[in-house]
Amino acid sequence: MADLLVIAHGKLEHGPARGTWAGASRRLRRIFGNRLEIRYTSGPGDATRVAREALVAGAEWLVAAGGDGTIHEVVNGFFRGPENIRPQASLSFLPFGSGNDWVRTLNIPSGTLGSAERLAASRVHLVDVGFAGFRALDGSPTECVFMNVAEAGIGGRVVTLMSSGLFAALGGVGYRLAAVRAALDGNRPKIRLGIDGCAPVAIGPTLSLIVAGGRYFGSGMRCAPMARPDDGLFEVISLGDFGRAELLFKVRRFFSGTYLGDQKVRHRSARTIEAASDERVLLEMDGELVGTLPVSIRVLPSAIAIRY
C-alpha cells in the first residue's frame, strides 16, 4: 500500500476545478513519487468506503481532496460508532471544494498549487470529533461523526438550495445568497435544548442551532470565532426569532462573527448536547444534509490525528 492515499472527489477528475487540481496532483507526484496513490470517488458514501477499506488494510496517512463533504465522508471512514478504528493513522486535507470551511479554522489556503508543499512539511495535531445520534431523513435512527459544525434549522435549507444549479454555480457567493434566502424564507421551530446532562429547556422559536468545533460554516460565515478544535468543547450557539428586516439589517454581523452580543443570540460551551423538537427540523453536518432532530451529540476529545 502507498504511504500516502489521496481520496479525491470525482469532480476533480472531470469538473471545473480539474485544471488546478491537475497541477496540484503533478506536484504531489513529484514530491511523493511512488509513495502516493490517488483514488477518485464515484458517488455519495464512496469516500467513507474507500477510507475504511484502506485503514483496515493498514493505511497510515489519508488525504481528503475536495470540499467539506469529502472531508466529512473520509472522517467517517475512520470511525465505527465512537471508536477510531486506526488512531495511529493521520488525515490531511487538499481543499478544492466550494465551501472549504473546516480548513479555514486551520488556516489552510483553498485550491492552491502550494497545497502539495504544505503536505510535505505538515505536522501531526490531535483534534476533537463530534459523535452524533439522530434520525435519518427516512426516519430511522442513525449515527455519524463530524469535525466542523452540526446545525439544526436553516442549514438544511441552505444545503437543499445549493443542490440547485443556480446557487451551486456561484460557489462561495452562492452559499451566502442561499443562507440569506433560507433565513428569510425559513420557519422558526421551537427547540428543546439540553446541555451537559441538564434537563432540556425550551429555547423558543429558533432560526438556527449551531454546534461548532470549527469557526466557520456556509462558505466563510464566522459562526463561532472562539471555537478551538482541540479543547474538548463545542460552542453551542442559538439564533432566535429574527424578523426579515432585522436579518437584512444585521446580515454583515452574522458573516463577520460579531453577532454574538445580540440579545436574540445565546452561547454556551459544552461537552454534550441534546436537541429535540415537535416539528420536523433538518439537520446538517459539515455541509451535508444528514437527517432531522432529535439529535444527541458528544465530544470525542483528541479523537483523530490530522496533519497540516
User: Could you report the per-residue pLDDT of 94-145, keeping only the tens digit for each?
Assistant: 999 878 999 999 998 876 667 788 898 899 999 999 999 999 999 999 999 9
Q: What is the pLDDT of residue 173?
A: 75
Residue 307 inside a domain? The answer is no
Asked if the model's pLDDT at residue 238 lies above 90, the reply is yes
Q: Is 121 helix (H, G, I), strand (E, B) or coil?
A: coil
> Which letter, b or e, does each residue of 211-223 get, where b requires 16 or more Cβ atoms within 10 Å of its Cβ?
bbbbbbbbbbbbb
pLDDT in tens, 72-88: 999 999 999 999 999 99
Query: 293 vs 99, which has greater pLDDT?
Result: 293
Radius of gyration over every alpha carbon of the chain, rounded to an integer in angstroms:
19
The HSE-up count of residue 172 (CA atoms within 13 Å, CB side) is 14
The kind and range of the H/E element at 37 are: strand 36-40
Q: How many domains does the chain have?
A: 2
Do 45 and 137 share a domain, yes or no?
no
Q: What is the pLDDT of residue 301?
A: 98
- The pair phi, psi for residue 158, each rounded to 5°, is -60, -45
Supply the range of the domain harboring residue 272. Answer: 129-301
pLDDT in tens, 205-224: 999 999 999 999 988 899 99
Please say which residue of 122, 152, 181 terminates a domain.
122
Q: What is the pLDDT of residue 1?
A: 66
Do 153 and 26 share a domain, yes or no?
no
pLDDT in tens, 35-49: 999 999 999 999 999
- Burial (CB < 10 A; 0-12, 13-18, 19+), residue 276, is middle
Do 100 and 184 share a domain, yes or no?
no
Residue 306 inside a domain? The answer is no
Band (2; pLDDT cuts 50, 70, 90): confident
Q: What is the pLDDT of residue 169?
A: 65
Residue 110 inside a domain? The answer is yes
pLDDT above 70 coverage of the chain, percent = 96
Q: 429558533: which residue's cell?
A: 206
Amino acid at 69: G
CATH number of the domain to which 49 belongs: 3.40.50.10330
Do 203 and 65 share a domain, yes or no?
no
Query: 15 vs 171, which has greater pLDDT?
Result: 15
Q: What is the pLDDT of residue 157?
A: 87
C-alpha cell at 62: 489519508
- Rounded Cα distance between 81 and 126, Å, is 19
Q: Contact at 8 Å (CB) between 281 and 207?
A: no
Please say which residue of 57, 90, 122 terminates a domain.
122
Q: What is the pLDDT of residue 150?
A: 98
pLDDT in tens, 150-174: 999 998 888 888 877 667 666 667 7
Cα 85 to its chain centre, rounded Å, is 21
Q: What is the pLDDT of residue 99?
A: 82
Residue 70 inside a domain? The answer is yes
CATH number of the domain to which 212 belongs: 2.60.200.40
Do 54 and 155 share a domain, yes or no?
no
Q: What is the pLDDT of residue 6?
A: 97
Q: What is the pLDDT of residue 19?
A: 85
Cα 86 to its chain centre, rounded Å, is 21
- Rounded Cα distance between 55 and 307, Å, is 16
Residue 308 inside a domain? The answer is no
Query: 184 vs 45, which has greater pLDDT?
Result: 45
**Mean pLDDT, to the nearest integer, of 194-199?**
97
Q: What is the pLDDT of residue 111?
A: 66
Q: What is the mean pLDDT of the chain?
A: 92
The kind and range of the H/E element at 63 are: strand 61-66
Please say which residue of 107, 122, 137 terminates a domain.
122
